[in-house]
Amino acid sequence: MRGLQQKLAQYGYNVATDGVFDERTRRVFAAFQMHFRPRDYAGNPDAIAGALLDKYMPKQAVETKSTP
């Protein structure tokens, strides 16, 4: 659960990353699901939500150093 919460937080959702599946976390999952798969937005974390987060996770900026 914590891993999915962390991915949602990185994506920009305001969710706790404590590993607890509470009502707020369920609502955040439901909001994510409404956006990416509106046929099923019950708010239950599942493998599909994890796969979508992996697919659409914003790429982290890679810092490169230039050598003079």
- pLDDT tens sequence for the chain (68 residues): 898 898 889 888 999 999 999 999 999 999 988 988 888 888 888 888 778 878 877 655 333 344 45
pTM of the full structure: 0.71
pLDDT at 37: 85
pLDDT at 10: 86
User: CATH for 2-56, among 1.10.101.10, 2.60.120.380, 3.40.640.10, 3.40.50.1820?
Assistant: 1.10.101.10
Token pair for 56:
């659409």
What is the 3 state secondary structure string of 11-54?
HCCCCCCCCCCCHHHHHHHHHHHHHHCCCCCCCCCCHHHHHHHH
pLDDT at 58: 61
For the chain, what is the largest distance between any 2 Cα atoms, rounded to a whole number of angstroms? 54
- Cα angle 5, 7, 10 (rounded to 5 degrees) comes to 110
Per the CB < 8 A criterion, the answer to whether 42 and 23 are in contact is: no
